[in-house]
């Protein structure tokens, strides 16, 4: 059941839609997943390879750092080698790099208009972006707030971040530009969340969510999911980027798992696995790990339950599209609420993968997915896993 359709959570914040390449950010569009290449942009072949890897992992928009003139020059060749990719240029201080990015055919600019030069330079970039229908993301970061704001507030505060964002927004609005996306990033979760919540009530521009410099794969995942999860559950956020000090494909994987957990996007399997306890009588760690790895390439949405005992196992397995309840060297495989196969522990992984392939093929072909024959289950009053023997 999709609980987001009910009154348990706030409705999604109403924002104006902004077109970025073939995607729409904001409005009623699905929340878009982004990441950023970690290669040297000047290394065209390595950067193109990472763009392709990210897209294969499900990344929809890829951002590239443009720190110098050579990186700016490389954008044209990268664009030519990735004609269908949706690319963003991340530019600071140099308005000429923004013009070069526009010449290269970039799909979005990430700039702060107040930081790229005098009024005429800003006007030149904004006019060109407007002509080419290229949106601009204003990216406020607590670690690089304007000196005047630090002097005014003493240290980064939600109010300081919002004042910075509104300053840059006004620059664009005064030039008649409205294809704007805004981010208010910090490595401090509470500061970040407070800033987004404050600005959410003061404008209707779509938000790019992120906890910047979140950390290593483990701690950064937790911080990102806590911070962005709070905002997404509040109905705030139109596109997200998870920032981790690891392979950027992991950022994409975490982003989708977060969105799937909140029932905001569906992509690939959702694996439900019991945490295990003293009732466990099979090697569930091995089974669950093999299933997750073997299904990582699947894009079809489906729920998989890998359960290891008689207490919650059969119920969770029945609720999933496909599942297994295992115990004492055996397993019962379920498909959409029906028990369909009894297998030994050694057969669990290959048998479940076989059923997954069949389920995915049935969905792709539009066939009904509940026509499988059920096998007799042990009575509810008995231990179903003992009865498998």
Per the CB < 8 A criterion, the answer to whether 335 and 351 are in contact is no
- Residues of the chain within CATH 3.20.20.20 domain(s) are 12-261
Rounded CA separation 305/300 (Å): 16
Q: For 208, list phi and psi in degrees, rounded to 5.
A: -95, 115
CATH topology for 12-261 is TIM Barrel (3.20.20)
Rounded CA separation 249/227 (Å): 20
Among candidates 93, 94, 119, which has minimal Cα distance to 171? 119
| pTM of the predicted model as reported, rounded to 2 decimal places | 0.85
Superfamily of the domain at 269-365: Sulfite Reductase Hemoprotein, domain 1 (3.30.413.10)
Rounded CA separation 178/174 (Å): 10
Q: Token digits for 286?
A: 């091995």
Among candidates 357, 343, 338, 348, which has minimal Cα distance to 306? 348
- Residues of the chain within CATH 3.30.413.10 domain(s) are 269-365
Among candidates 250, 220, 210, which has minimal Cα distance to 88? 210
Rounded CA separation 99/105 (Å): 10
Rounded CA separation 67/54 (Å): 21
Residue 379: predicted pLDDT:
46
What distance lies between CA 266 and its chain's CA centroid?
11
DSSP states along 333-352 = EEETTEEEEEEEHHHHHHHH
Burial class (CB in 10 A: 0-12, 13-18, 19+), 25: buried
**312-341 CB burial, b ≥16 within 10 A, e <16:** ebbebbbebbbbbbbbbebbbbbbbeebbb
| DSSP structure class, residue 30 | P
What are the beta bridge partners of residue 332?
325, 342
Over its length of 389 residues, how does the chain's per-residue pLDDT go in tens digits? Answer: 555 555 678 899 999 999 999 999 999 999 999 999 999 999 999 999 999 999 999 999 999 999 999 999 999 999 999 999 999 999 988 999 999 999 999 999 999 887 887 889 999 999 999 999 999 999 999 988 999 999 999 999 999 999 999 999 999 999 999 999 999 999 999 999 999 999 999 999 999 999 987 678 999 999 999 999 999 999 999 999 999 999 999 999 999 999 999 999 988 888 888 777 766 777 888 888 888 888 888 888 888 888 887 677 788 888 889 989 887 778 889 999 898 989 998 898 999 999 999 999 998 888 755 555 566 555 444 444 444 44
């Amino acid at each position: 059941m999709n609980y987001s359709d009910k009154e348990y959570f706030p409705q999604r914040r109403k924002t104006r839609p902004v077109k970025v390449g073939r995607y729409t950010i904001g409005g009623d569009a699905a929340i878009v997943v982004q990441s950023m290449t970690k290669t040297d942009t000047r290394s065209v072949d390595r950067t193109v390879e990472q763009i392709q890897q990210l897209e294969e992992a499900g990344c929809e928009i890829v951002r590239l750092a443009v720190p110098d003139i050579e990186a700016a020059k490389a954008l044209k060749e990268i664009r030519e080698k990735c004609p269908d990719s949706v690319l963003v240029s991340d530019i600071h201080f140099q308005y000429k790099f923004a013009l070069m990015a526009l010449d290269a055919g970039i799909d979005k600019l990430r700039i702060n208009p107040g930081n790229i030069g005098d009024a005429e330079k800003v006007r030149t970039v904004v006019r060109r972006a407007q002509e080419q229908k290229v949106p601009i993301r204003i990216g406020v970061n607590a670690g690089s707030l304007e000196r005047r704001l630090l002097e005014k507030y003493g240290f980064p505060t939600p109010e300081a971040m919002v004042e910075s964002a509104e300053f840059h927004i006004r620059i664009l609005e005064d030039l008649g530009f409205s294809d704007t996306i805004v981010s208010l990033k910090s490595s401090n979760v509470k500061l970040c969340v407070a800033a987004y919540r404050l600005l959410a009530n003061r404008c209707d521009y779509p938000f790019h969510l992120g906890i910047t410099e979140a950390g290593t794969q483990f701690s950064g995942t937790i911080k990102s999911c806590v911070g962005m999860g709070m905002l997404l559950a509040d109905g705030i956020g139109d596109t997200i980027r998870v920032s981790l000090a690891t392979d950027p494909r992991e950022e994409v994987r975490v982003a989708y798992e977060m969105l799937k957990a909140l029932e905001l996007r569906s992509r690939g399997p959702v694996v439900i696995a019991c945490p295990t306890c003293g009732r466990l009588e099979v090697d569930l760690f091995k089974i669950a790990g093999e299933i997750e790895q073997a299904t990582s390439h699947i894009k079809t949405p489906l729920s998989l339950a890998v359960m290891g005992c008689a207490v919650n196992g059969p119920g969770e397995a029945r609720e999933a599209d496909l599942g297994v309840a295992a115990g004492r060297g055996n397993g019962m495989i379920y498909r959409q609420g029906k028990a369909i196969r009894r297998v030994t522990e050694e057969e669990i992984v290959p048998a479940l993968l076989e059923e997954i392939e069949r389920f995915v093929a049935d969905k792709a072909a539009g066939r009904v997915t509940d026509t499988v024959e059920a096998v007799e289950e042990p009575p509810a009053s008995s231990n179903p896993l003992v009865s498998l023997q």
